[in-house]
Amino acid sequence: MHLTNSASLFLATQLTLAQTVVTITEGSPSPTAEPEWTSDDTFTSAVLNSTNSYRNEHNASDVTWNNTLADFATDYLDDMPGDSCNFGHSGGPYSENLAKGYPSTTLSIEAWGEERDDYDFDTGEFDERTGHFTQLVWKNTSDVGCGRKLCGDRQWYLVCEYWPRGNVVGQFVGQVQEEALGVINTPGLGLSIVGIVSFWILAS
């Protein structure tokens, strides 16, 4: 445990067939009435627009909204009692990114996307610091579905599921491509509580 920019940082890893990485930083509460959180249509559009913006920059086709994935994410959140938000991997059959505490859905996804600043495109290997970005732009992934929940601490909790799974060991070079010259997304991240979960799988 250590302090980073007056925020606490926790990192835990677990290795089985897949590796789960959970990162949580502490910050200020997020707006509870932001339309990207409260309106279903606006939420879905924000997920797709933000995700596909990054994917287009990295030569990956647009993903489409998948209600099965969205229902899985929503059910996972709904199974948490009351307004509690137990931050952790669902253990489901899909790739999964989580975030908590950003002011909007767009900023949550941009947090994952901006991990690309730390990704080594030359080596093309999994890194705990960049696993959420690599899933976001994984070329073979075609579907996304997300859920969200307002937690008791007035933080929005975002869960996104992806299919087919990304972050497959041995496939990073072909699946995660560098952004085109001069095409770079510049988000405003702000201060927030954020937690992110992703995992990588071993190629059979």
DSSP the chain: -EEETTEEEEEEEEESSEEEEEEEE--PPPPS--HHHH-HHHHHHHHHHHHHHHHHHTT-PPPEE-HHHHHHHHHHHHTS-TT----S----SSEEEEEES-SSHHHHHHHHHGGGGG--TTT----TTTHHHHHHT-TT--EEEEEEEE-TTS-EEEEEEEES---BTT-HHHHS-PPPTT--------S--EEEEEEEE---
Mean pLDDT across 3-18: 29
**Pairing relationship of beta strands 18-25 and 194-201 according to DSSP bridges:** antiparallel
The per-residue pLDDT for range 76-124, each reduced to its tens digit, is 999 999 888 988 989 999 999 999 999 999 999 999 999 999 999 999 9
- CA-to-CA dists, residue 185 to 116, 188, 200, angstroms: 11, 10, 25
- Within-domain flag for 21: no
- Would you place residue 27 in the very low, low, confident or very high pLDDT band (cuts 50, 70, 90)? very low
- Within-domain flag for 32: yes
The answer on pLDDT for 149 being more than 80 is: yes
- Within-domain flag for 6: no
Q: How far apart are CA 74 and CA 68, in angstroms?
A: 10
The answer on pLDDT for 8 being more than 70 is: no
- Within-domain flag for 17: no
pTM: 0.78
- Within-domain flag for 105: yes
Q: 41-50, 153-162, 184-193: which range is least confident on average?
A: 184-193
- Within-domain flag for 77: yes
21 phi and psi angles, rounded to 5 deg: -120, 125
pLDDT at position 21 is: 40
The per-residue pLDDT for range 154-175, each reduced to its tens digit, is 999 999 999 999 999 999 999 9
| Full residue range of the structural domain in which residue 106 is found | 27-201
- Would you place residue 181 in the very low, low, confident or very high pLDDT band (cuts 50, 70, 90)? low
**Pairing relationship of beta strands 143-150 and 64-65 according to DSSP bridges:** parallel
Q: Is residue 201 a contact partner of residue 25, using CB atoms and an 8 Å limit?
A: no
Cis peptide before 164 (omega within 30 of 0): yes
pLDDT at position 13 is: 26
Q: Which residues of 109-134 are buried (b: 16+ CB within 10 A; e: fewer)?
A: bbbbbbbbeebeeeebebbeebbbbb
CA neighbor of 20 nearest in space, from 161, 196, 148, 204? 196
pLDDT at position 182 is: 53
The answer on pLDDT for 59 being more than 90 is: yes
- Within-domain flag for 7: no
Q: How many domains does the chain have?
A: 1
pLDDT at position 32 is: 75
Q: What is the mean pLDDT of the chain?
A: 80
- CA-to-CA dists, residue 95 to 22, 55, 98, angstroms: 14, 16, 10
pLDDT at position 31 is: 63
Looking at residue 33, which CATH number applies to its domain?
Answer: 3.40.33.10
Mean pLDDT across 53-68: 98
- Within-domain flag for 12: no
Q: 3-12, 80-89, 125-134: which range is least confident on average?
A: 3-12
Q: Is residue 193 a contact partner of residue 24, using CB atoms and an 8 Å limit?
A: yes
Mean pLDDT across 48-65: 98
